[in-house]
Amino acid sequence: EVQLVESGGGLVQPGGSLRLSCAASGFTFSSYWMHWVRQAPGKGLVWVSRIDSDGSSTSYADSVKGRFTISRDNAKNTLYLQMNSLRAEDTAVYYCARVGKKWELDYWGQGTLVTVSS
């Protein structure tokens, strides 16, 4: 069974940093591209970032470019999102998701809440 479990969320002050993790199991993690998607409280889904299967290529939404870094450790079956210079508008539930061949996000984690507030 495919499972994605996020962790690392919490309360952080504006300007601070946080690293999210997404532990994958039930599939060959190193064969799949992975994404991060976020959802502010009461708002819609927003695509954040994506990484290819070996970590050599990444993409970011304009809103996080230069502040967030996506990475992965295929030996540990884990996806990461390093978030720096956090702003109040980064407050959201962050989901990791596996992407299929047709750019569909076929499996999602349960999400981890990041709150940026003083």
Partner 1 sequence: QSALTQPASMSGSPGQSITISCTGTSSDVGSYNLVSWYQQHPGKAPKLMIYEGSKRPSGVSNRFSGSKSGNTASLTISGLQAEDEADYYCCSYAGSSTLVFGGGTKLTVL
Q: Which residues contribute to the site for partner 1 (CB under 8 A)?
A: 35, 37, 44-47, 50, 52, 57, 59, 61-62, 95, 100, 102-106, 108-111
Residue type for position 71: S
Nearest partner of 22 among 12, 35, 11, judged by Cα: 35
Q: Is the four-CA dihedral 107, 38, 60, 72 of positive or negative sign? A: negative
Q: Which is nearer to partner 1, 27 or 108 (CB)?
A: 108
Query: In the bound complex, what is the minimum distance in angstroms from residue 61's beta carbon to partner 1?
Result: 6
Q: Which is nearer to partner 1, 18 or 48 (CB)?
A: 48
Query: In the bound complex, what is the minimum distance in angstroms from residue 12's beta carbon to partner 1?
Result: 23
Measured CA to CA, the distance from residue 62 to residue 24 in angstroms comes to 27
